[in-house]
Amino acid sequence: MLRQFVALHTRALFAPTQHRGSVVRLLHASRPVAADLNKEIEAITDLATTAKDEMDFAEESRNSVYYNDDKMAAHDAVEEMTTAYNSLLARLSAADKSAIESRIGMRIKEIQSAYEIMTLNDLED
């Protein structure tokens, strides 16, 4: 009796049904996607750190001969960060987009705003 029960449930568990197969494929497919997503978020976070550092260098070199080069480096770093962030958001669903925005969106916006303020300060000088 026990042997029949085990055989019946084993066949049911491993039967190639449409629903079960799609769930298994989804589970296997979602693992690399989540890992890739975390790698992209980490890369964007690194770009944000670089952009912030470049802006700090530019601010420190204000009123020196190095300022224009430092400001251009800051501009390039902010653009690279923004492009990577927007590219990621464009590929995500609304729910995932919201999660990413709450995870790193504020930092991205802060850096973008700080760069805009730095640019506006140049116009006033």
pLDDT bin (cut points 50, 70, 90) of residue 6 is very low
Model confidence band, residue 121 (pLDDT cutoffs 50, 70, 90): confident
Q: Are 88 and 100 in contact (CB under 8 A)?
A: yes
Mean pLDDT within 60-78: 96
Kind and range of the H or E element at 95? helix 94-100
Residue 82 has what pLDDT?
A: 98
Average of per-residue pLDDT values in the chain: 81
**Block residue for tokens 């204000």:** 62
Q: What is the pTM of this model?
A: 0.71
> What local confidence, expressed as pLDDT, does residue 66 receive?
95
Region of residue 16 (left: phi > 0; alpha: psi -120 to 50; beta: else): beta
pLDDT at 24 (0 to 100)? 37
